[in-house]
Amino acid sequence: MESLMGLWPFLAIFAVFYFFMIRPQMKRQKSEKNFAEELKRGDKVVTKSGMHGKIADFSEKLNAVILETGAGKITFDKSSISMELSQALNKPKDEKEKK
């Protein structure tokens, strides 16, 4: 019985760590994966480095997207597309004005 009481704090710390650190990160990764899979031609996106563009084509062999920007067409890895920045860019103007 005493050995269980000695393990209780470690189990509590693990539970807190799981629910506040691991689980939200897994949920975020899943939503980013779904976002990358749902991209289509013509979508306006922003990369994590801040490059704005419109999707011109996909390269399945390289797992990349070809963006049409003001400087021409540039190839980026799908993982470099920012979900948060792209969603903020595509929000209707009514929602942007409310904030």
CATH of the domain at 69: 2.30.30.140
Residues 49 and 96 occupy one common structural domain: yes
Confidence of residue 93 (pLDDT cuts 50, 70, 90): low
Tally of structural domains, the chain:
2
pLDDT in tens, 37-60: 999 999 999 999 999 999 999 998
Range of the domain at 45: 40-99
Residue matched to tokens 């049409």: 68
Rounded Cα distance between 37 and 65, Å, is 11
- Give me the mean pLDDT over the 61-90 stretch: 92
Tokens read off for 80 = 């470099």
Residues 48 and 2 occupy one common structural domain: no
Q: What is the pLDDT of residue 3?
A: 73
Residues 59 and 99 occupy one common structural domain: yes
Confidence of residue 97 (pLDDT cuts 50, 70, 90): low
